[in-house]
């Protein structure tokens, strides 16, 4: 299903929930516990609303992470947004594990920090970095990046995934290799990567990680957003295939084609597929 279709369905359900909450004297803002994690949510936001409905946000990704993350490991959440996967990863690595979470937009980073504050026992396992991962520490940070998926009708949204760009005024540019040289105290075991077309920027600054460590990646492939950023699925694969990576479907664990042309044929315009990339 295309992202726009998911958002359209969520909008219809949101209108029903909003009216019911109004009748009960409630607003769109709530603090809830889902999956043992406390969240402060704005139900007019797509990610928040999916969590509110019963921890429904990217359930297949969470299931994959439960199978793949090792206790006491170091894992990365790149594109952390409000922390839906960050806090789940903190549960999975346990008290002696670590999560480094990266979020470049001021809007989502504030929400990530708030949700970490609401979960102090998990927050001690998380290092939250307000930065844009790219090839070099001196690179420019884009002025705005998509990190909001509003459920109320608004103008100026992305034509296909219906997201809204949010400002990155406080974020700094960093390469992943340089961050890990400072912060990592063990090898990275897994990377969750969801950056809406900026994958090649991230991977271009992760040469040592891909060559020497070769962690598991759980990530989204969306050719249309790569192309909007002036890159391609071919370019993205060029970071993985020479380092021995194989791609698998996140839900079925069946091997996927290793050619960009074949992968592209599997993914409709405006859609994406969640994959696992690992070295066997």
State how far the Cα of 126 lies from the Cα of 124, in Å rounded to an integer. 6
| 248-263 mean pLDDT | 95
Classify burial at 262, counting beta carbons within 10 Å of its beta carbon; exposed 0-12, middle 13-18, buried 19 or more: exposed
Helix or strand or coil: residue 167? strand
What pLDDT is recorded for position 1?
64
The answer to whether residue 80 is domain-embedded is: yes
Query: pLDDT digit string (tens) for 161-196?
Result: 999 999 999 999 999 999 999 999 999 999 999 999
State how far the Cα of 41 lies from the Cα of 17, in Å rounded to an integer. 14
Q: How many domains does the chain have?
A: 1
What pLDDT is recorded for position 153?
82
The answer to whether residue 221 is domain-embedded is: yes
What pLDDT is recorded for position 252?
94
The answer to whether residue 19 is domain-embedded is: no
Q: How confident is the model at residue 228 (pLDDT cuts 50, 70, 90)?
A: very high
What pLDDT is recorded for position 260?
93
Per DSSP, 113 falls in state H
The answer to whether residue 39 is domain-embedded is: no
State how far the Cα of 257 lies from the Cα of 266, in Å rounded to an integer. 10
> Which ranges constitute the DSSP H helices of 147-258?
176-183, 199-204, 207-208, 223-228, 233-240
| 95-112 mean pLDDT | 98
- Owner of token pair 């791609």: 247
What pLDDT is recorded for position 6?
85
Query: pLDDT digit string (tens) for 14-73?
Result: 999 999 999 999 999 999 999 999 999 999 999 999 999 999 999 999 999 999 999 999
CATH number of the domain that 140 lies in? 3.40.50.150
The answer to whether residue 116 is domain-embedded is: yes
The answer to whether residue 46 is domain-embedded is: no
The answer to whether residue 175 is domain-embedded is: yes
The answer to whether residue 208 is domain-embedded is: yes
The domain of 133 spans: 58-279
**Residue 58 neighbours by CB distance under 10 Å:** 22
What pLDDT is recorded for position 204?
98
Q: Residue 269 pLDDT more than 70?
A: yes
What pLDDT is recorded for position 132?
98
What are the strands, taking DSSP E only, across 2-130?
29-34, 37-42, 74-78, 98-102, 126-129
Query: pLDDT digit string (tens) for 193-211?
Result: 999 999 999 999 999 999 9
């Amino acid at each position: 299903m295309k992202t726009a279709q998911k958002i359209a369905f969520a909008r219809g359900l949101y209108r029903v929930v909003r009216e019911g909450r109004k009748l009960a004297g409630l607003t769109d803002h709530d603090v809830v516990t889902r999956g043992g994690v406390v969240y402060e949510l704005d139900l007019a936001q797509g990610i928040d609303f999916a969590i509110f409905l019963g921890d429904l946000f990217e359930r297949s990704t969470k299931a994959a992470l439960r199978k793949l993350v090792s206790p006491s490991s170091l894992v990365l959440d790149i594109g952390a947004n409000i922390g839906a996967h960050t806090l789940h990863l903190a549960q999975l690595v346990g008290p002696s594990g670590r999560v480094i979470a990266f979020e470049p937009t001021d809007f989502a980073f504030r929400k990530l920090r708030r949700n970490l504050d609401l979960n102090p026992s998990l927050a001690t396992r998380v290092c939250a970095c307000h930065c844009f991962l790219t090839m070099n520490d001196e690179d420019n940070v884009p002025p705005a990046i998509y990190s909001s998926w509003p459920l109320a009708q608004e103008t100026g949204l992305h034509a296909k995934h219906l997201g809204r760009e949010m400002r990155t005024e406080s974020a700094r540019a960093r390469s992943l290799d340089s961050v890990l040289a400072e912060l990592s105290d063990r090898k990275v075991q897994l990377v969750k990567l969801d950056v809406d077309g900026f994958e090649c920027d991230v991977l271009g600054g992760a040469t040592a990680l891909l060559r020497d460590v070769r962690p598991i990646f759980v990530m989204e492939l969306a050719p249309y957003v790569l192309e909007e950023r002036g890159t391609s699925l071919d370019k993205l694969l060029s970071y993985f295939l020479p380092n021995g990576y194989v791609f698998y479907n996140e839900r079925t664990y069946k091997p996927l084609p290793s050619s960009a042309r074949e992968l592209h044929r599997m993914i409709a315009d405006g859609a994406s597929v969640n994959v696992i990339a690992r070295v066997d």
